[in-house]
Every structure is written in C-alpha cells, then in structure tokens.
Structure 1
Amino acid sequence: MRRVQAEELSSRLGLGGLALDPDPDGAPSALRTALVAWAAVSEAATHHLVVQDDVTAPPELLGLVAASAARFPDDALIFYTNWHARNGAASRLAALAGAGWVRAVPEEFAPTLAICLPTGRAEDFRHFARGSSERHDDEVMAAFLRKVGRAGLLAVPNVVEHIGTSSINGHASQGIRRAACPVGAADARPLLGHGWVLEELDWLPYMRYGEGYLRPAGQENAAEPLRHTRWADALPGTGLTEGQLRDIAQRNCPTDMADAVGSAYGAAFAAELWIHCLLLGRQAEDAARRHSARTGTRPEAGPAAVRLRDAALSTVGLAGLPPERRPDVLPAHAELLTAYAWSAVRCGSLLLDPAAAPRA
C-alpha cells in the first residue's frame, strides 16, 4: 500500500525515484530507509531533496524547493512542520509576524517529511547517522544539525501536508498530524522567495494535549532541553505576570465564544487556548516590531500574507486539543476555534503597551 502511494507521489512530483527499505523484515526504522534516500544524490546536483511517502504536495514543489535552495544555499530547508510541535508553534508565530521563514527550535526533532540539504551536507549526514541505533531519522537529523551548529530553516507557508495517521516510528498515538500553516503554492511562492527570516525566537508559547506551555529562550542549553514547562511556571523569565494575563483575559476574552469552546471541549481547554494565543500574539507583534526597527520596513501585509496568518490560526485550536478529540471537530467548531484564537492574538499587543503593565 505505502509503496503504491510512494510511486504515485514520486511520479506526480517528478522526484526521480524511490528509496526502498533495505531490510523490510527488520525492526521498523525510518532512519534505515532515509540513509538510502540520502545516498541517491545526483552527481551534478548542488542540493538533494528527500520526501517521505505519507505526504501530499502540489506539482510546483520542486520549483519552490529549487528557488529556496538558490536563496539559502547553505541551509537545511524544511518544507513541512508538524502542527502540535514546538516548531509548529514557531511557524505560527512567524506567520503572524509576517515572516516567510523561521529558524527551527534546536532541541526538537527536525521535521523530515520534506527536507532539502546541500549535497555536501547530505553526505556529512550519512556519515554522521551511519551505525546509529536510533530509528527516528528526524531525531538524528536534529542531532546532526546541532553538531554543525545551524538548525534548519522552516518554510513558514507549508505546501507539503501529512496524510494518514500510521507511523513507522510509532507516532500513531499522536493522532491526526497536519501542517501548522497550510497554504497553496501560489501564496507560498512570494513568501518563500522574498519573505524575511525570523532568526531569533526568544521565548516561545506552544500547546500540547490541551495545555499551554512556554519554551524559555536558550532552552537548547538547559540540563533537560526537552522538558515541558507550563506557561505560568515560565512567566517569571518573560517579565510578565499571571495576574496581568488573567486581567487582560477577563476584560477582553469574548464570553460567548469562550462558553461555546468550553461547552465543546471543556472550560479548562478554552482558558488555556486563549492565554496561549494571547502570548502568541504578543511574541508575534514583538518580532514584527523588532524587524521593522531593524530594517525600516513593515512585515509583508499583502493577500498571501493575510491568508498565511489565517491558515496559521486555523490549526492552532485543533492542534492544541488532545489527539483523541481532533477527529470529532466539526467544520463549525473549527471556525469557532479559529475566531476564538484571533480574539486572543489581537490582544497580544496589550502585553507590549505600558498601559498593560503588570499589577503590583
């Protein structure tokens, strides 16, 4: 089944062939097959793209990748970001800030569903990964990029989408896994070609399994870099207080929408999602202001950028739900979650305004 799917994808996109598992009867390992794929580098190529079989992508994918590689010839370029990962939250933040690319979170797995490396870097990765007992190619890729000291660049507009829920590496328990910022190729092209790069993330709000968390700046250097810290516990490092956030929520969170979200998914989730999106809006606005101060230009505000922002918030509520709740989300509820998220994001600037200073 997956081979037929892979053959169809390769033929439709013009990918140039399949990498088959050299030991199909062995223990499941994405890395084993990935090493075959990374070895299939054309002699004349400057870059090498590897696409996994459980995705869909538009016919324009190769053209978008080639143009992106020409723009960023020395970077690992990642064209899919999981909607409930830290990197997914980074992509949403970047989309709201008007960026086209964002530097990946170093300590998290590097999404490998569609990733392009310079050919020399691809060869280095093969040597690095050869003999590894790890079966997760995305974890090994992240470790490799940490070793070379340069995390991958995430394409904020995602034209590659994950399909299905099965997983060679045992991630089926995570349920439906989709792109964080899904858009079409026409909208992605100008953003990938000319959009600015958000290099420094500072602290990053994200959600998992119905609860809000916050990644402190420099988390990759912590003793436990993959530790998840609840947002209230991490606030002291941001200059914000829980009282400040609760006060803004009390004054600005739309009661009717909060009640509707709470009725469908629980009051606790409704509260967590609004606070998460408030923090997300604050960080996106701060990143946009810093970009403008540095360059003297405003972030992209054209129709493609507007649709990208809408796409980013169309997935934040769905991705924030526990996996078992996601399949039951009706279109009307998805629209509700998106509107509710926007109501919080638009209040993010209040956390940058002196009038919203923490209460004593």
Structure 2
Amino acid sequence: MPTARVSSAVMTHPVRRAQAEDMVTRLGLGSLALDPDPDGPPSALRTALVAWSRVAEGATHQFMIQDDVAAPDDMIDLVARCADRFPGEALAFYTNWHARNGGATRLAALAGAGWVRAVPEEFTPTLAISLPVAVAEEFRQYAEASAERHDDEVMCTFLRTGGRRSALLAVPTVTEHTGTSSINGHAAQGIRLAVCPASAEDARPFLYRGWVLEELPWVPYMRYGEGYVRLPGQEHQPQPRHHYTWREALPLTGELTEGQVWDAVRRRRPAAQAVRVAEAFGEPFADEFWIHCLLLGRQAEVAARRHAPAGAQRGGTPGADRLRRAAVSTAGPAGLSPERRPEVTPAYAELLSAYAWTAVTCGESLLEG
C-alpha cells in the first residue's frame, strides 16, 4: 500500500458536469471543481484555483485532472505510488504529442526512461497533475493575483521560482485527452493526444522503477509540418520560446552539420516509403518528418549512453517494446498541421510509423559517424 494520501478534484464547467461526475464515480475521485464564473471569459486558471483548494483533510498530495481526460480505474493508486517515489515533485501524468515537452518525452521513451524533466520555458502540462499539498497551496496563493487565464502557463512560471524545478513528466502516458473541443480556446490546435499512450500494466514498471532523464541533450520536435530543435539552456536566452529550425540549430550544437543530415537522407531513407508519404502529405513533410525522426533517434541514443544507469535496458521486453513503438507511432500525426491530422487513417498511421522507424534506427549510425 502506498503511504502517500492523495486527495483529488476534477476541473470542470457546468456544460460538462455530467461527464465530470461520471469521472468522479468511476475513478473514485474526491470532488468536482466547478468554474466559479461559468458565464465569464474562458479561464482554466479560475477553475484550477478551485481544484487546488479542494484538499481533503490529512492528504499529503493533491491530484487535479480535467474533465476531458480518460484514465484507468486505479489512477489514484498509481498517483499515490508515484508520489511515494517522488514526494516533493510536481508530477504530470499527461503530455501532449506536440511541442517541446512532447519531443522530450518521445526522446525519453526511446532512451528507455520512465520519467523526464520538463523543459522549463514551455507551459507545464496540467491535464492530469499532482502536487504536494504544501506546494499546491503555494501555487494557489501565487496564482490568485494573476491575470493569465491559462493555468499551465502560470504553473510553468511558478515552478521556475523559489528554487523549484520544472515538473517530472511521466513517459508512459496512462491518461488520454478526449475530443477536440476546448472551453479555454484550444480547439484550433485540433486533435491533440498523448505522446506515449500506454496501458497501466505496461506503464507501472517504468513509473515505479524506471530511471529519470534529468539532463536533456538538444531535443528535436515538430510543429505544423516543420522540424525544430530545442537547444540546451534555451530557457536562459532572451527569447526562450524561439523556435529554431533544425537547420538553424545544428551549427549551434557543434555536433552535426546539415550536410551530414542530407547525406543520411540520400543514403539511408527508403525511397518507396518516402514517395508514398510525399504523395499523401507533401514532399516537404516527407523530408522534414524523416529528418526529425533521424535526429530524434540520434539524440535518444545520446541520452541513453550519457544518463541511463548501468544495466538499464531500452527494450527487449514486450512492455518496453510497446512503449517505444507507441512513442514513435504518435510522431507522424503530431508533426502535421492540425487541419491535416484527421487525414491520418489507420493505413497512413502504419505508413508513417514504419517510415519513422527507418529514420530512428538510422540515428545511431549518425552518432557513430
């Protein structure tokens, strides 16, 4: 039995109350945190403040989950066991498949890690997140005066203050975002799902005992059909959220050249698959996606060699192999622009995943070169 005592609340709006009440019943959650001004301008933070204040007596940790998230029936037990392992940490149990944190989580999955430290300059994923109760109260007091409406942005700035560290992101994702509607104005982002979807059975060994990737190398990520790189220490730059294309970033890493990348494309990319991807989603995407996955595979190998504990295995068991496949399977849809993601049929998903793996497995040879 875990020693952590987890209190919980579901963030919701009256239009989704029935959905939220079903979550409370099914998952054995504590209470609803209803938007206190449902007719006011959209604000996730307004409702999050209610959720962080709903701490049950005697609790050591507060878990907040949004009403449009699917989760396993034993979610509270899973959260409690993770809180036992990391009692002082902010733990995020969902990470979107796009942007920098999505890239960091996908890289960590390929490296064999169970957790990865979130990049400090990006919003903190808050769809399903736990905090120690003292930290939850500190956040509530910190955020009360904020004019920001996005709780994930305020959480990010909060975790950068007072000597705190950014959240730990669960690499296998047992929660899933449902639907594309958004009370808080995110519907334009289209389909947005977990970066490494996993069953609770596959996830538990990694969450309970898996190693933590604390120091990230430069991180490839994709957005709107183009490949980018998050540079080490980018949070300290004047414009920490600047998106560096991989072409711009490689000279700053001092490790690879654009010429080496294109040489790998010419020599190692499967021509027939490249043609099929180009026919479906355009030649620029076929190029950018393969290069993105090439860099991703290379950097996962770097992370594993530098940071994995001795004896750690990246694959070789059915559960570990499923997690790696899951992380790669989401890379293609996540890399497309939102309006094109619905075009990814099961057949296209299989094509994109197979195409991605040819690039990921090529990454180690790039490292050796």
| TM tier relative to shorter chain | over 0.9
Count of aligned positions: 352
Of 94, 100, 103, 2:114 maps to 100
Quote the Cα distance in structure 1 between the aligned partners of 2:252 and 2:226: 19
Separation (CA, whole Å) in 2 of partners of 1:68 and 1:53: 22
- Which of the numbers 332, 341, 344 marks the counterpart of 2:356? 341
Contact 1:125 1:141 survives alignment (8 Å):
yes
Alpha-carbon displacement from aligned partner over 1:80-133 (angstroms, at most 9, x marks no partner) = 000112111111000000000000011000010000000000000001101211
Q: CA deviation at 1:64?
A: 1.0
Separation in 1, partners of 2:39, 2:219? 41
Quote the Cα distance in structure 1 between the aligned partners of 2:290 and 2:344.
18
Distance in structure 2 (CA, Å) of the matches to 1:272 and 1:201: 22
For structure 1, the residue ranges without an aligned partner over 5 or more in a row are none
Q: Aligned with 2:129: secondary structure?
A: strand
CA distance in structure 1 between the aligned counterparts of 2:313 and 2:58, rounded to whole angstroms = 37
Q: Which residue identity is paired with 2:223?
A: R
Paired residue for 1:265? Answer: 281
Unaligned runs of 5+ in 2: 1-14
Mapped to 1, the partners of 2:40 and 2:47 lie a distance apart of 11
Which residue of 174, 177, 192 maps to 2:192? 177
TM-score by length of 2: 0.94
Structure 2 residue 26 is the aligned partner of structure 1 residue 24: no
Residue aligned with 2:216, SS: coil
8 Å CA contact 2:217, 2:302 repeated in 1: no
- Spell out, residue by residue over 1:50-69, the C-alpha distance to the aligned partner (whole angstroms, 9 max, x if none): 00001111102111111100
CA contact (8 A) 2:298 2:364 kept: yes
Determine if contact 2:62/2:131 at 8 Å carries over to the other structure.
yes
Find 1:138's aligned residue among 152, 156, 166. 152
| Cα deviation, residue 296, structure 1 | 2.3
Task: Provide the C-alpha distance between the structure 2 equivalents of 1:80 and 1:17, rounded to a whole number of angstroms.
Answer: 20
Q: Give SS of 1:346's match.
A: helix
- The alpha-carbon deviation at position 291 of structure 1 amounts to 2.7
Q: Is 1:91 aligned to residue 85 of structure 2?
A: no
Q: 5 Å matches for 1:153-192? A: 153-192=168-207
| C-alpha contact 2:110 2:314 (8 A) present in aligned 1 | no
**1:150 counterpart letter in structure 2:** R
- Per mean C-alpha deviation after superposition, the further-off stretch among 260-269 and 3-12 is 3-12
State the distance in 2 between where 1:273 and 1:244 align. Answer: 16
Matched position secondary structure for 1:180: coil
The CA deviation string for residues 70-89 of structure 1, in whole angstroms up to 9 with x for no partner, is: 00001000000001121111
Q: Quick one: distance in 1 between partners of 2:155 and 2:313?
A: 31
Q: Please state if 1:320 is matched with 2:338.
A: no
**Alpha-carbon distance in structure 1 between the residues aligned to 2:363 and 2:273:** 18
Mapping 1:183-262, distance limit 5 Å? 183-238=198-253, 239-262=255-278
**Secondary structure, aligned partner of 1:15:** coil
Contact 1:291 1:299 in 2 (8 A): no
1:286 aligned counterpart, secondary structure: helix
Of 36, 40, 57 in structure 1, the residue corresponding to residue 71 of structure 2 is 57
Deviations 1:261-280 (A, max 9, x none): 00000010000000000000
Distance 1:300 1:44 in 2: 39
TM-superposed CA distance for 1:300, in Å, is 4.1
Instruction: Tell me the TM-score normalised to structure 1 length.
Output: 0.96
Percent identity, aligned pairs only, is: 65
Partner Cα separation in structure 2 for residue 312 and residue 262 of structure 1:
22
